[in-house]
């Protein structure tokens, strides 16, 4: 469990501050994460990694000469926002374009893709290689759906070495992709981890048992067994990885880098006992071990568990692997020290001036702020439940992410004093997306931005304006998240909500009435997502737990829609 924090909501920021303070020789704090504190050659491709916090040394500990140029560091187990990623990439850019590489999780993909589009719009060339090394997270024929775990290290290092060697963006992307194609991992866990301030672990494994194939945020594994001996564990890990030798490689005589990774509480001593047998087994299979790695490379807070990665070298990759590295948590060989950079100036942008608005819209802005208060209070009251239901099939960050987003939105909306309704909500939307991180943060940013644009800063918004805004938001979410109704996501509740709102507004209902009916539809639809269904093709040993557990995104949308409906009704009463 996590024991030490101040305000849990500040944990990720304070952690990043302390990390940067302790590692000034290697990294520099910038908005959104860290970049190297050392100069890179002009024109060198910048390798930007990132993801949620709680996986140290991933991701900030891997920034430094010979490794990443920057890391976007999200909240705990939550993707960094597109704003964070964009800010880090701009601070890391050396004029040679940016290669994004990160573990393949829905929230990260959404946010990195959005950042990539914005940077391209600004004229910065970008490419992306999402890491998909976890062989138990999807079948071989769906490799693109697999999650990224400790195999990140192999792909990050090759990308960085390729940049260091002077490759252009296309060359770096090709080599990073090749590294990803030749990296396979499998993980096991003996216990869950508890995020700061949480009452309970994200998930648990029964005493004496081992979950096989479990993800680094507690995503369901594919099997559960008794805890084996150290040798038995080595045999399981090696056997599974040798069942999936990458295409075109003969195992006998192949050169591999084994990475035996500790997830947090399984200690080095135990890892070495396991590695002893791993090395024997790899050699018995005719493999040649190159530069073995045993340690913590991608953790899950204090989860007790381990993963084994095999990185199958070819001559080109092996030559790149010898590139020296000097990062806070990862050093290889002897780096020629580069000059320290001057302090980096990607600090927070100045607050824009508030655009002009009329009295009617400023009055409506009061309603927007009241709604933001209701949202924040609703999320606060349900944060534990949202985390719990997300932990059934996801990474358990939904409650915390929603809470940070809603709190930041309320603060930004309140700070926009004198603004019209549209600007007030637009700022709240941007703050939500930035602070919440993760998938849900990005999607709520899209929804609220859609509504904000229809509200505008002039005139009293009508039910039709609101309905059109929600419809725009729903369309944006579907485009952005590539989800359809029936995929058991937020969309399942959002689309019926938007449609009912539109229908009732078209029929001439006032906003409270139209909203109430729409909220009821959303609640029904959210409940329907609770039907027991495998998600993303994964087997679910904990499936019994998810009986009756709705999709957390759909559920929180329904809760918020209902609470705002009550606000509107209450106001009506008093009006």
CB of 280 to a copy of itself, least distance (A): 9
Q: What is each CA distance from 146 to 105, 186, 544, in whole angstroms?
A: 8, 11, 23
From the list 226-234, 349-357, 362-370, 407-415, the region that binds a copy of itself by CB under 8 A is 226-234
Check binding of 293 to a copy of itself (CB under 8 A).
yes
From the list 300-308, 429-437, 499-507, 552-560, the region that binds a copy of itself by CB under 8 A is 300-308
Choose, by CB under 8 A, the member of 33, 57, 80, 422 that binds a copy of itself.
57
CB of 399 to a copy of itself, least distance (A): 19
Task: Return the number of other C-beta atoms located less than 10 Å from residue 1's C-beta.
Answer: 14
Structure tokens at 259: 């990475």
> For the window 4-33, what string marks contact with a copy of itself as x by the rule CB under 8 A?
xxx----x--xxxxxx-xxx-x--------
Structure tokens at 113: 């893709």
Burial class (CB in 10 A: 0-12, 13-18, 19+), 290: middle
| Omega before residue 548 within 30° of 0, cis | no
DSSP per-residue letters across 232-268? HHHHHHHHHHHTTPPTT--STT-EEEEEEEE-BSS-H
Of 471, 432, 479, 425, the closest CA to residue 449 belongs to: 425
Taking the C-alpha atoms of residue 48 and residue 85, their distance in angstroms, rounded to an integer, is: 8
Taking the C-alpha atoms of residue 537 and residue 566, their distance in angstroms, rounded to an integer, is: 38
- Cβ–Cβ < 8 Å for 303, 193: yes
Check binding of 227 to a copy of itself (CB under 8 A).
yes
Structure tokens at 93: 């850019």
Closer residue to a copy of itself in complex, CB, 298/431: 298
Choose, by CB under 8 A, the member of 32, 33, 50, 61 that binds a copy of itself.
61
Check binding of 337 to a copy of itself (CB under 8 A).
yes
Check binding of 334 to a copy of itself (CB under 8 A).
yes
Closer residue to a copy of itself in complex, CB, 304/474: 304
Could you say which residues in the range 467-496 bind a copy of itself, by CB under 8 A? none
Check binding of 291 to a copy of itself (CB under 8 A).
yes
- Cβ–Cβ < 8 Å for 488, 441: no
Closer residue to a copy of itself in complex, CB, 174/331: 331
Check binding of 267 to a copy of itself (CB under 8 A).
yes
Choose, by CB under 8 A, the member of 33, 50, 54, 461 that binds a copy of itself.
54
Closer residue to a copy of itself in complex, CB, 151/264: 264
From the list 154-162, 179-187, 297-305, 414-422, the region that binds a copy of itself by CB under 8 A is 297-305
Choose, by CB under 8 A, the member of 272, 347, 355, 534 that binds a copy of itself.
272
Structure tokens at 291: 């530069």
Task: Return the number of other C-beta atoms located less than 10 Å from residue 242's C-beta.
Answer: 15
DSSP label at residue 532: -
φ and ψ at residue 339, rounded to 5 degrees: -65, 145
Choose, by CB under 8 A, the member of 276, 482, 524, 571 that binds a copy of itself.
276
Closer residue to a copy of itself in complex, CB, 26/147: 26
Taking the C-alpha atoms of residue 291 and residue 514, their distance in angstroms, rounded to an integer, is: 65
Q: Alpha helices of 207-337 — where are they, by DSSP H?
A: 230-242, 268-284, 315-321
CB of 251 to a copy of itself, least distance (A): 20
Residues designated catalytic: 217
Taking the C-alpha atoms of residue 52 and residue 50, their distance in angstroms, rounded to an integer, is: 7
Structure tokens at 386: 């949202």
Please say whether the dihedral angle defined by the alpha carbons of residues 161, 166, 169 and 174, taken in this order, is positive or negative: negative
From the list 119-127, 328-336, 448-456, 513-521, the region that binds a copy of itself by CB under 8 A is 328-336
Could you say which residues in the range 236-265 bind a copy of itself, by CB under 8 A? 260, 264-265
Check binding of 273 to a copy of itself (CB under 8 A).
yes
From the list 2-10, 125-133, 158-166, 518-526, the region that binds a copy of itself by CB under 8 A is 2-10
Residues that bind a copy of itself (CB under 8 A): 2-6, 11, 14-19, 21-23, 25, 53-54, 56-57, 61, 190, 196, 227, 229-231, 233, 260, 264-277, 279, 291-295, 299, 301-302, 304, 324, 326, 329, 331, 333-337
């Amino acid at each position: 469990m996590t024991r030490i924090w101040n305000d849990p909501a500040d944990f990720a920021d304070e952690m990043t501050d302390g990390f940067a303070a302790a590692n000034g020789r290697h990294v520099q704090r910038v908005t959104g994460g860290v970049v190297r504190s050392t100069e890179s050659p002009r024109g060198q491709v910048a390798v930007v990694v990132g993801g949620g916090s709680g996986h140290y040394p991933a991701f900030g500990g891997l920034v430094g000469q010979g490794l990443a140029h920057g890391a976007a560091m999200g909240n705990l187990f939550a993707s960094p926002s597109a704003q964070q990623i964009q800010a880090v990439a701009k601070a890391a850019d050396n004029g040679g374009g940016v290669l994004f590489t990160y573990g393949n999780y829905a929230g990260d993909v959404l946010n990195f893709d959005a950042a990539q589009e914005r940077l391209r719009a600004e004229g910065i060339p970008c490419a992306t290689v999402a890491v998909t090394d976890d062989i138990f997270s999807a079948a071989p024929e769906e490799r693109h759906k697999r999650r990224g775990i400790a195999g990140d290290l192999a792909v990050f290092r090759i990308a960085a070495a390729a940049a260091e060697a002077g490759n252009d963006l296309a060359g770096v992307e090709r080599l990073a992709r090749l590294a990803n194609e030749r990296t396979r991992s499998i993980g096991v866990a003996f216990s869950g981890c508890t995020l700061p301030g949480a009452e309970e672990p994200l998930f648990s494994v029964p005493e004496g048992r081992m979950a096989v194939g479990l993800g680094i945020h507690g995503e369901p594994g594919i099997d559960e067994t008794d805890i084996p001996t150290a040798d038995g564990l080595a045999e399981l890990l090696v056997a599974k990885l040798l069942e999936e030798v990458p295409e075109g490689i003969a195992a006998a005589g192949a050169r591999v880098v084994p990475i035996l990774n500790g997830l947090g509480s399984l200690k080095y001593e135990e890892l070495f006992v396991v590695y002893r047998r791993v090395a024997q087994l790899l050699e018995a299979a005719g493999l040649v071990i190159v530069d073995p790695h045993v340690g913590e490379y991608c953790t899950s807070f204090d989860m007790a568990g381990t993963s084994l990665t095999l990185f199958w070298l070819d001559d080109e990759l092996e030559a790149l692997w010898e590139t020296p590295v000097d990062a806070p948590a990862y050093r290889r060989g002897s780096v020629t020290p580069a000059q320290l950079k001057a302090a980096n100036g990607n600090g927070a942008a100045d607050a824009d001036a508030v655009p002009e608005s009329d009295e009617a819209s400023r009055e409506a802005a009061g309603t927007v702020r009241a709604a933001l208060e209701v949202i924040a209070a609703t999320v606060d009251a349900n944060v534990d439940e949202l985390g719990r239901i997300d932990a059934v099939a996801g990474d358990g960050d939904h409650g915390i992410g929603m809470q940070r987003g809603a709190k930041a939105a309320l603060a930004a909306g309140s700070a926009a004093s004198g603004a019209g309704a549209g600007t007030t909500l637009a700022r709240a939307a941007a703050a939500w997306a930035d602070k919440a991180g993760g998938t849900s943060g990005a999607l709520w940013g899209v929804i609220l931005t859609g509504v904000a644009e229809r509200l505008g800063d002039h005139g009293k918004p009508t039910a039709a304006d609101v309905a059109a805004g929600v419809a725009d938001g729903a369309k944006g979410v579907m485009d952005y998240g590539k989800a359809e109704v029936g995929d058991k996501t937020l969309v399942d509740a959002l689309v019926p909500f938007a449609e009912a709102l539109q229908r009732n507004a078209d029929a001439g209902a006032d906003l409270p009435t139209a909203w109430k009916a729409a909220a009821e539809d959303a609640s029904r639809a959210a409940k329907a997502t609770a039907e027991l269904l495998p998600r993303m093709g994964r087997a679910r040993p904990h499936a019994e737990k998810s009986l009756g557990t709705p999709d957390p995104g759909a559920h929180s949308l329904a809760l918020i829609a209902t609470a705002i409906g009550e606000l509107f009704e209450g106001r009506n009463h008093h009006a």
